[in-house]
Structure 1
Amino acid sequence: MAQYTIKELEHLSGIKAHTIRIWEQRYCILNPKRTETNIRYYDDADLKSLLNISLLNERGYKISKIAKMGQEQILQMVQQLCDQPCECSHHVSALVAAMVDMCEYKFDRALSTATIQMGFQETMLRVIYPFLNKIGILWQTGNITPAHEHFVSNLIRQKLLVAIDGQVVQWQEDSPTYILYLPEGELHELALLYMNYILRAHKQRVIYLGQNLPFKDLELTYEQFQADFICTVLTSVPEREQVQSYVNRLSERFPASTVYIYGYLTRTDGLVLPDNVKRLSCITEFIAKFN
């Protein structure tokens, strides 16, 4: 069972720690436990309860009224609200709760509801990316296991593949060519898949090479297609101290192309970008290039 500090609850729920303490004292909405060394902590049930209470409170229900409701009534009202057009934070909270339970049905329902309401691209930007940021917090604090991450990543990947498969793309003969790939050993594919979706939505020609690509195969593909752009995501590969040399290698080997790099490792301190390498700080920068 995961253990959360009150600051972690604040990050995950959006409710200030000070407010959580007041709600505890006045309305007894949470029941924190204590470690053997008398340190307060919260468990999964507390997190899910707070996410539901936060959702109702944001939709105008007073905390004093929520505190008088039973758990079953709260769950019913939350489900009704999640089925209605609403702010994205509610969808994100629903995904977090489904992930904690590892419930595919709940996760799929929450994601499908958001997609119906705002479309796939907006759901990715306004729901999935904030949700993935919260996963980062849970990962950093040790409150989810690799199994949780794989569970949600595979479900989101399935949604991306279905969306891409549903695209009908007929690019123009003069369309620029993009090669999309992940370095050898890199398996975090969600961002790259979404870049593929964006490019196809804007009728760009894409050569999608996917995960774990040896550099030699990238070179061979480039020789065949002479791509105008190369896009990659650096999340866990290469090693941090090798990022600069890897970026330099891309620049030197493909001097006639613009190389877009994205991901955690691209924020390495002191990274110097060659002229033909562009760093994307967020995915919306990539989308903006086509607007």
Structure 2
Amino acid sequence: MSVYSIKDLEHLSGIKAHTIRIWEQRYDLFSPQRTETNIRFYNDVDLKLILNIAMLKDHGMKISKIVAMPMDLLEEGVRKISIENRSHQDQISALTLAMIDLDEEEFSSLLEESINMLGFEKTMMEIIYPFMHKIGILWMTNSINPAQEHFITHLVRQKLIVATDQAESSNSGPLFLLFLPEGELHELGLLFANFLLRSKGVRTIFFGQTVPIDAIEEVYLKLNPQFIITAMTTAPESKEVPKFVKRLGSKFQNCQVYVTGSRVIGQDLEFPSNVSILNQFDDLIELTQTLTIKQLN
């Protein structure tokens, strides 16, 4: 069972830690355990409860009425909201509940529902990535079981691969190479970038995880791509990132290189003239639109 701080509950539910403490005292809402240093911590049951409460409260129900409800009625009220009137935040909360229970059927059903309502691209941009961002913070602070993080990553990865296979890329026009540096395993962002490009009719070759830069150089010399995209979330090590970025610029001088990921976004780095940063997926969408216009002209 995972362990959460009160800040984790705030982060996932949107309810301030101060409010959670008040409810805890006033309504005897939780019975948190404490560390040896007397710091509260919460479990999966507590997280599910606060997520359910948050969803009902966001839809106009008073906290005094919510806490008086038997658990079966509370969960039924949440299910009714989920079916009848689900906001993006409701969807993210529902995905979180499915993750906690490792409920693959429910998680897949929620994804399909969002895709049917919003389309695949919007589901990824407006539901999955905000959700993954929240879960990623918990994963980095060891608040959730790594099995839970791998569980959702695997399911989202499957959806991305299927959607990309169904997208029709062009056999002409500029070519993008996409790869992750050696040691980098977090590929969802790059998989989505590959989907976005292909869905706009752009040619891509996706190389995936932990690829040596020298191997990409061989492909670059053979195929002469116009663009390269790579992402750095956990690799290279922070101190090695400036050197790696410089290598990208020197090895692929006749190519525009785009870099993204937490190792480069918001960092004080100097970029070679042919290396640029992608801060968000909207930057990539804007780039594909520019390329499409050029191809039409």
TM-score, normalization by structure 1:
0.92
What does the per-residue CA deviation read over 1:26-56, in whole Å, with 9 as the maximum and x for residues that have no partner? 3333333334544322211010110011111
Determine if contact 2:202/2:288 at 8 Å carries over to the other structure.
Answer: no
Match of 2:214 among 216, 232, 245: 216
Structure-1 residue corresponding to 2:129: 129
Structure 1 segment 64-83 matched on structure 2, within 5 A: 64-83=64-83
Q: Which shows bigger deviation, 88-97 or 106-115?
A: 106-115
Q: Secondary structure, in 3 states, of the residue corresponding to 1:278? A: strand
Q: Are the equivalent residues in 2 in contact too, given 1:240–1:268 (CA < 8 A)?
A: no
Assess if the C-alpha contact under 8 Å between 2:227 and 2:255 holds in 1.
Answer: yes
Structure 1 pair 245–107 and aligned structure 2 pair: CA distance change class (3 A)? same
Distance in 2, matches of 1:243 and 1:150, equals 26
Distance 1:288 1:83 in 2: 34
Q: What residue number does 1:262 align with?
A: 260
Percent identity over paired residues: 45
Q: Summarize the Cα distance change of 1:84–1:229 in structure 2 as closer, same or farther, 3 Å threshold.
A: farther
Tell me the residue number matched to 1:203: 201
Q: What is the CA deviation profile of residues 171-217 of structure 1, one whole-angstrom value per residue up to 9, with x for unaligned ones?
A: 263x2111111122222110111001100111111122222222222
Paired residues for 1:5-84 under 5 Å: 5-84=5-84
Equivalent-residue separation in structure 2 for 1:26 and 1:116 (angstroms) = 42
Q: Which moved more, 1:135-144 or 1:192-201?
A: 135-144
Taking the TM superposition and a 5 Å limit, the aligned residue runs for 1:174-253 are 175-253=173-251
Alignment of 1:94-105 (within 5 A): 94-105=94-105
> Could you tell me which amino acid in structure 2 is paired with residue 198 of structure 1?
L
User: Does the 8 Å CA contact 2:10/2:17 hold for their aligned counterparts?
Assistant: yes
**Is residue 247–residue 273 contact of structure 1 (8 Å, CA) maintained in 2?**
yes
1:278 Cα deviation after fit: 0.6
Distance in 2 separating the partners of 1:37 and 1:221: 55
Gaps of 5+ in 1: none
> Residue 209 of structure 2: SS of its match in structure 1?
strand
* Separation in 2, partners of 1:234, 1:141: 19
Q: List 4+ stretches of structure 1 deviating above 6 A.
A: none
Q: Between Structure 1 and Structure 2, how many residues are aligned? A: 289
* Distance across 2 between alignment mates of 1:115 and 1:201: 15
- Alignment CA distance shift 1:278-1:35 (3 Å): same
Whether contact under 8 Å (2:259, 2:277) holds in the other structure is: yes
1:154 aligns with 154
Using the alignment, how far apart are the partners of 1:85 and 1:198 within structure 2?
29
Q: Provide the rounded CA distance (Å) in 1 between the counterparts of 2:197 and 2:161.
A: 14
Query: For 2:27 and 2:286, how far apart are their aligned partners in 1?
Result: 46
Question: What is the CA deviation profile of residues 211-244 of structure 1, one whole-angstrom value per residue up to 9, with x for unaligned ones?
Answer: 2222222112112221111001112221211111
CA drift of 1:137 comes to 2.3
Which secondary structure does the structure 2 equivalent of 1:67 belong to?
helix
Q: Residue 257 of structure 1: CA displacement?
A: 0.9
Equivalent-residue separation in structure 2 for 1:33 and 1:64 (angstroms): 24
